[in-house]
Every structure is written in C-alpha cells, then in structure tokens.
Structure 1
Amino acid sequence: MTCSNSSIVENEVVLPCTAVDLSGEADWIPCDAPSIMGESLRFVSGEPDGNRFRVRYYLNKEQQLRARIWFGPDTGGPPGHAHGGSIAAVLDEVLGLNAWVAGYPVVAGNLNISFRTMLPLEKVVTVESWIVSAEGRKVMVHGRVCSGDTVYAEGECLCITIPGR
C-alpha cells in the first residue's frame, strides 16, 4: 500500500487518504434531494466514498438547494484541475434537483455553462442554485459553483416539467 497525491493505492484500487468535510453552513438543513427521484439519479451523487464526486445536499433558510461537493481525482481534466464536463454534470444535477425539491418534476431542456476559472482537483466547493421563474411547463433555474469569493462556473438551466408527474 502506497500513498501519493492524497490517495492510497491498494491492489490497483485508489482510495482517498483523508476524510472530506462536506459540512453545510450553520443554518442549512440536510436534504436527501436525490431520493426525491429514487435510486435512478446517482450519476454525480452515487458514490459517497468514491474518487469522483462526494456530495452532500442542503436547503438554506429560503428553501433553495445547496450542495457541498468534492471534486476528486477521477474528475480530472487539465492537469490538476476538474474536467469541464464534470462541472457541467454537477450543475445539471443540482439545478434539476432544485426544481424537483420545489415541486417541479423536470428534465433539462437546455443547460448553459459559463466557466469562469479552473477548479483545482480535491477541492470542496459550494453549488448554489435558485429558481428564477416558472411559467407553464418551463422552469428556469440558475446556479454557480463557488468557494468564498471565487466563482468557478455559472449555469442556467431551462427545465421542462414532465407531463403526468
């Protein structure tokens, strides 16, 4: 067993060396948002101890969905940084789940991502999301991936409600 780059290699399986703190703010309430959709929604949040993403969801006092997410080594893109597709997947899940938590069963109709600065690997960030509007079957949700004053990416998702749900 060896340890390098914050990982332990044991029988060709890479295991993280350290625990990841995904604690929310003091006034945030833990929320098992993916359970709203059942076990099928687990692309981002499916491996709570894995080397890709680690996620914990919360609701803030305004009932807006927040997430603390660790981008592990398996989310890599440019050397030492998260792949843009991994950031997009996170925004897709969090923005869509925000709509579900608010009572809108949706799928993504259009997702626009603006990347602001590169996100280092093995960093815990906050994903903030909020519903901008709901009109007919269209629900517009915005969000951002940030840490302190640094915004790594922003997203806008036009969600479409699922008929009969």
Structure 2
Amino acid sequence: MIRRCFQVARLGLHRALPGAPCVLPRLNLTSASGSSADSLVSRFCPEKTDFQDYALPNASWSPDMLSLYQDFMEKTKASGWVKVPSFKSNREHIHGLKLPSSLAVPSDKSNGRLFTRCIQVEGQGYEYVIFFHPAKKKSVCLFQPGPYLEGPPGFAHGGSLAAMVDETFAKTAYLAGEGLFTFSLNIRFKNLIPVGSLVVLNVDVEKIEDQKIYISCIAQTRDQETVYAKSSAVFLQLQLEEESPQ
C-alpha cells in the first residue's frame, strides 16, 4: 500500500512526542495546477478580489516610501517583480487553502486578523508592502512603523521589526517553495528605527534542501547607509513523499 503524506521533521505539532517526526497530510489547494512559482504567485496574488488590499498607498505614507513604491510598481511592468497583496487575514490570501484537519482549530472567521494588520487606523501601526521576484526568489518589503509600534521614545520596538521580518520571510518562503512554518528565526539588531521612517527589507532565498527553505534578510535605509538589522530563518517546506509498499 502506498501512502502519500507530508513529513515535517521535529515540528512539534499535533501532539508529537519530543524528538519524534510530525506527519502532516498535504494541504488542500483546490485551485493548484502544479507547484511552480508562477502558479503559486497566481494563487497568492489574484488579479481580482473583493477583499481590501491594505498594501496600497495612503495619506500616512512618507514621500520616501511612496517614491520607492512607485519605482517598484514600474518594475512589475517589465522586470519580473510582482506586488504581493496584503489582506486582513491569511484565510483570504491563498485561494483554495485548507489546513489539514489535524491542524484545524475552532475560531471566529470574522475576528481572525493577520497580526501585522491588527491596527486599523492608517499610519499608526504596520504600513508595508511586499514585492516578490519569482525567478530570483527574492523579496523586498517597504516598511514604515507607526507610533503604536513605539518602544524606546521616538523609535520602533525591536519586536515590531522582528514581526515584519518574519511576515516577509513567510510570504517569500511560500511563494518560493511552499514553505509554510517558521522552523527557526535569528535576528541581530544594529540600529534603532525612528518611528515613521522607511525601512527596506531585502530578502533572499539562499537555498532549498531537505524540505527546508533557508532565507536571509538585511533591513536598512533606502540609501543603504544604515543597517537596522540582519536576520536569517529556516522554513519548513511541505513536500509530497511516497512510502514504499509494505
């Protein structure tokens, strides 16, 4: 008998024993037509949707952020970059996404909200937009922290940058190779980020091997003169396996 399943090592989900592998069934992506980068992007970045896209300019965006956004929008026309929409919930991102029953938890869909979209007032929390390049397997996130993210007076809380890095990693890992779960995340802070300033997160997929996606990030100013943080992460890739007949 051939059993088709996903095996994610040492994930620690589904009440797995310490050190034991965790076996997950394949995610149900009903609109999937292969796992190429193009098909993933088309599922994740629908041309038409009734959901509000929060990754669009508003009055709170600084001139610097708006200018760089417009530069990248030009690149989407000819240079292979894709603007990644950002809805209020990950339920709304991927058409046809259904988690395995073993991971399903009761929740009120109307109250579910992506962490980085939990602040409704424009400019007060996470203002950001992510651009992804399928061929190069890299992303650029434009991030402007608002006053609700303040840590030291006048500066963004380090945790807000860590959350933004992880969110950009997650989107990149999924689009680059169906990575879905953060396995490890490391970040080294270099400088404080003034509230309301532009942070550019340059994210690269370093390699994909052994069901893991290795990613790195440099968060810096637009002119690259100031580095705010350097980070790396490993995401678990859900990969179909077949077991030999018993």
Relative to structure 1, the CA distance from residue 76 to residue 32 in structure 2 (aligned partners, 3 Å threshold; closer, same or farther) is same
User: In 2, Cα distance between the equivalents of 1:122 and 1:132?
Assistant: 30
- Corresponding residue for 1:38? 91
Aligned to 1:119, which of 193, 213, 219?
193
CA displacement 1:22-78 (0-9 Å, x = unmatched) = 41434253422556x533772124557251111111124735211111100011101
AA of the residue aligned to 1:27: K
1:79-132 Cα distance to aligned partner (Å, 9 max, x none): 111111111101111112111111323211110000011111011211110101
Q: What is aligned with 2:230?
A: 154
Structure number with greater Rg is 2
Instruction: Establish whether residue 27 from structure 1 lines up as the match of residue 75 from structure 2.
Output: yes
Distance 1:153 1:41, change over 3 A: farther
**Please, which moves more after superposition, 18-27 or 155-164?**
18-27
Secondary structure (helix, strand or coil) at the match of 2:177 reads: coil
Distance change >3 Å, CA 143–CA 114, structure 1 → 2: same
The residue type equivalent to 2:208 in the other structure is: A
SS at match of 2:124: coil
Matches within 5 A, 1:12-91: 18-20=59-61, 21-22=65-66, 23=69, 24-25=71-72, 26-28=74-76, 29-32=81-84, 34=86, 37-39=90-92, 42-45=114-117, 49-60=122-133, 62-91=136-165
SS of the residue corresponding to residue 78 of structure 1 reads coil
Match of 2:37 in 1: none
Is the 2:179–2:212 Cα contact (8 Å) retained in structure 1?
no
TM-score by length of 2: 0.53
Q: 1:97 matched to which residue of 2?
A: 171
Counterparts of 1:76 and 1:158, CA distance in 2:
28
Q: Describe the SS at the equivalent of 2:213.
A: strand
- Determine if contact 1:47/1:54 at 8 Å carries over to the other structure: no
How many angstroms apart in 1 are the aligned matches of 2:204 and 2:137? 9
User: Aligned pair in 2 of structure 1 residues 157, 101: CA closer, same or farther (>3 Å)?
Assistant: same
Q: Kindly indicate whether the alpha-carbon contact (under 8 Å) linking 1:33 and 1:97 is maintained by their aligned counterparts in 2.
A: no
- RMSD over aligned Cα, in angstroms? 2.7
Normalising by structure 1, we get a TM-score of 0.77
Local SS of the residue matching 2:152: coil
Amino acid in the other structure paired with 2:233: C
Counterpart of 2:203 in structure 1 is 129
Q: Secondary structure at the match of 2:198?
A: strand
Higher share of residues assigned strand: 1
* Structure-1 residue corresponding to 2:215: 141
Distance, in Å, in 2 between the alignment partners of 1:119 and 1:138 is 31
The answer to whether the 8 A contact 1:34-1:97 is kept is no
